[in-house]
Structure 1
Amino acid sequence: MVTVKMLKPYYIKTDNEHVRIVLAYQYFSIIIQEKVYQFIPIEANEIRINRRTQKVENIDAKFAFQHGKDVVYLTMAKLITLPDFLQQLHSIAGTYYIQDENELNGNSSIQHAVLIDELERMNILRLIDKALDERDEKSFYELVKLL
């Protein structure tokens, strides 16, 4: 069984279409049969992700890992089948993804509606406090109904 012990980018490059996560020694390690294998950049050394689709594009890339004198090669196709690899990868690249403008507008509209509802609720609570301070029983009961 293969698990990811650590995945940190050496550096990240972006362009209009891709996020490139460049890897180096001591920044990427995996565990195979309870042995830690360190990434060595003798084959591929970057992960290329499409910024719009959030999919890894260089699935044919071959990564080398070393434990002592033992070297193991894993393709990107194998690595993306590991849930912990994908989770760490998307947490690294997530801030570089391009979201659809309609999706952004929809999210901000929902956030605005939630904020307005909370402000209205807080205002009603202040008016209830005011009614209690003034001993205005009629206003108090009308405001409580609004909650």
Structure 2
Amino acid sequence: MLLIQRIKPFFTRKEEFNLRLVFAYQYFSIKRDDEVFQFIPAEGKEIIINTKSLQIENLAEVFVFQRGHRFIKIPLFQLLLVSDLHLHLSTILEGAMELEGHLQEENMREADGLVEQLERDNWERMVDYALETKNRLLFKELTEGLRLI
């Protein structure tokens, strides 16, 4: 059995419903019989995960690992069968989904702040308008009602 020694995507990219994990030198290594083999991007270099179905889209991708002059070429579907890769991928996927959720939350907070600022600016313009037109009734409504400032 192969063990994943280290797996860290060089970069990840979210594309619609897919999460693309791209690997480079020194970011992916496996251990076989107490020997560590380093990933080399000679053939395949990415894993594409469908975030809706949680399925790997490119199972035929061939990964190459090297130790000295020896190489291990293994298709992704086989690597999933003979190693603990699925555990590592689920951890990476959870982290990516948490980050996506956090970014959406942050965007919502930012949008809420922007709406509040626009409402405040609009209120100030309406007060200025009431003063310019000497509209006491409008001015009174704006200053006595709920103020956004």
Instruction: Answer with 1 or 2: which has the greater Rg.
Output: 2
* SS of equivalent residue, structure 2 residue 59: coil
Specify whether residues 91 and 82 from structure 1 end up closer, same or farther in structure 2 by C-alpha distance, changes over 3 A only. farther
Specify whether residues 63 and 83 from structure 1 end up closer, same or farther in structure 2 by C-alpha distance, changes over 3 A only. closer
Aligned to 1:70: 70
Q: Give the alignment's Cα RMSD to 1 decimal.
A: 1.6
TM-score (norm. length: structure 1) = 0.63
Measure the CA separation in 2 of the matches of 1:88 and 1:60.
19
CA deviation vs aligned residue, 1:23-56 (integer Å, no higher than 9, x gap): 0000000011211000000001000000101111
Letter of the 2:2 counterpart = V
* SS of equivalent residue, structure 2 residue 56: coil
Is the CA contact (8 Å cut-off) linking 2:2 and 2:83 kept in structure 1?
Answer: no
Measure the CA separation in 2 of the matches of 1:44 and 1:31.
19
Measure the CA separation in 2 of the matches of 1:83 and 1:41.
19
Aligned to 2:46: 46
Aligned to 2:102: none
Identity of aligned residues (%): 33
TM-score (norm. length: structure 2) = 0.62
Which is further off, 72-81 or 19-28? Answer: 72-81
| CA displacement at 1:81 relative to structure 2 | 1.5
CA deviation vs aligned residue, 1:59-107 (integer Å, no higher than 9, x gap): 000000000011110110111124621111111122445xxxxxxxxxx
* SS of equivalent residue, structure 1 residue 73: strand
* SS of equivalent residue, structure 1 residue 79: helix
Is the CA contact (8 Å cut-off) linking 1:6 and 1:27 kept in structure 2?
Answer: yes
| Count of residues in Structure 1 that have an aligned counterpart in Structure 2 | 98
* SS of equivalent residue, structure 1 residue 60: coil
